[in-house]
Amino acid sequence: MKPFNVLITAGSRRVPLVQGFRTALRSLGLPGVVVVADVNPLSPAVHVADRAYRVPMSSDPMYLDEVLAICATERVRLVVPTIDDELPLFAAARDAFQAHGISVACSPEPANAICNDKLATCRHLRQAGVSAALSYAAGEVPVDAALPLFVKPRTGRGAVGAFAVRSRRELEFFLEYVADAIVQEYLDGPEFTIDVLCDTEGRPVAIVPRERVVIRAGVIDRGRTVNDARLLALAMDTCRAIRFAGPLNIQCRMRGNTPVIFEINPRFSGGIPLTIQAGADFPQMLIRMALGRRVEPQIGAFRDQLWMTSFETSFFLESPSIVRAGFDSRLPVSEVA
């Protein structure tokens, strides 16, 4: 049987995602390995993956060439991009990878263009009749806009540069302090992430809402699955308004009884281990789709009220073992066997 090898880019701390794909391969009875690409030999995922390769930053003009070289070396059949910076690159190159028999778990270019711009995201959704936060460009905030408000970068991730503002003076300060800022209505209800997986036709095949009870550095630390019809319907409406493929996560808060979207990330979320553990095996479904198998929708088919509470763990490495195969900086990655 031909091996089914998976490449996860920007592996970083995504150890559970590496483990999730490895488990999915075993559960499907497929021979294969999980390979990680990263810029840093100290990234934890590098030391969990079956093999790991150094790559340049995604801003480097040779980045995709290096990734394709790894795919050729490792006979990769599925690439899983994981960070916002590289999603537009992979979206534009999906056909080029497919020409080599490699599926890319990434949404099309229009979806990435919309979601990479938080102002465009909310405006597009509202125009389509989907519940989304009222949002303004920095110079468009009405003088009578109700306080508090929320200022954050138009692009970015991990809640970096995001601030609640409770006075006009704070608003003026943070609009100057935050580069390329947008302003959104302030949402203070319970926060949810909705994990969604779409097939190549843009059809949602799995939806799992999760309440983000405790958040650290923009990533869920403690949370629970919530089988709520309002959140499931919001995800379905979103996927009708924007055509996705592969994984995405929708971030929203409750305003009264209505969930309101404030941003969308067309990639795996940091809380995906909870979704997988609840029975929505996104890695397995992605592999099946990459094999050309039809995956029937499983909307709402997950374990409700399953809690996740996370903790830090560490690897302890002797200096010689830090540089793994493929991380020898003297060799271009295309020459690493």
Task: List pLDDT tens digits, range 229-273.
Answer: 999 999 999 999 999 999 999 999 999 999 999 999 999 999 999
CB of 220 closer than 8 Å to CB of 210: yes
Quick one: tokens of 42? Answer: 């100290």
CB of 141 closer than 8 Å to CB of 181: no
The pLDDT value recorded for residue 257 is: 95
What pLDDT, in 10s, does the model give residues 36-89? Answer: 999 998 899 999 999 999 999 999 999 999 999 999 999 999 999 999 999 999
Quick one: tokens of 316? Answer: 């302890």
The pLDDT value recorded for residue 91 is: 97
User: Is residue 108 scored above 80 in pLDDT?
Assistant: yes
Q: What class, spelled out in words, does domain 5-105+314-335 have in CATH?
A: alpha beta
Candidates 238, 239, 243, 245; CA nearest to 200 is 245
The pLDDT value recorded for residue 323 is: 61
The pLDDT value recorded for residue 331 is: 43
The pLDDT value recorded for residue 318 is: 75
User: Is residue 3 scored above 70 in pLDDT?
Assistant: yes
The pLDDT value recorded for residue 37 is: 96
User: Is residue 305 scored above 60 in pLDDT?
Assistant: yes
End-to-end, the C-alpha distance of the chain in Å comes to 22
The pLDDT value recorded for residue 328 is: 52
Which residues make beta-bridge pairs with 198? Answer: 204, 246
Pick the CATH number of 188-309 from 3.30.450.40, 3.30.470.20, 3.30.310.80, 3.40.50.150: 3.30.470.20
- How far is residue 209 CA from its own chain's centroid? 15
Average pLDDT score over residue span 317-322:
68
The pLDDT value recorded for residue 324 is: 57
Helix (H, G, I), strand (E, B) or coil at 333: helix
**314/324 Cα distance (integer angstroms):** 17
Domain 134-185 has CATH 3.20.20.70: no
**Average pLDDT of every residue of the chain:** 92
User: Is residue 327 scored above 90 in pLDDT?
Assistant: no
ω into residue 148 within 30 of 0, thus cis? yes
User: Is residue 160 scored above 80 in pLDDT?
Assistant: no
What pLDDT, in 10s, does the model give residues 129-144? Answer: 999 999 999 989 999 9
Residue 255 corresponds to which amino acid? Answer: R
Candidates 39, 45, 75, 42; CA nearest to 58 is 39
For the four alpha carbons of 173, 176, 177 and 182, in that order, the dihedral sign comes to: positive
The pLDDT value recorded for residue 274 is: 97
Residue spans of the domains in the chain: they are: 5-105+314-335, 134-185, 188-309
The pLDDT value recorded for residue 337 is: 35
The pLDDT value recorded for residue 334 is: 41
Instruction: Flag the least confident range among 78-82, 191-195, 216-220, 268-272.
Output: 216-220
Residues found in the chain: 337
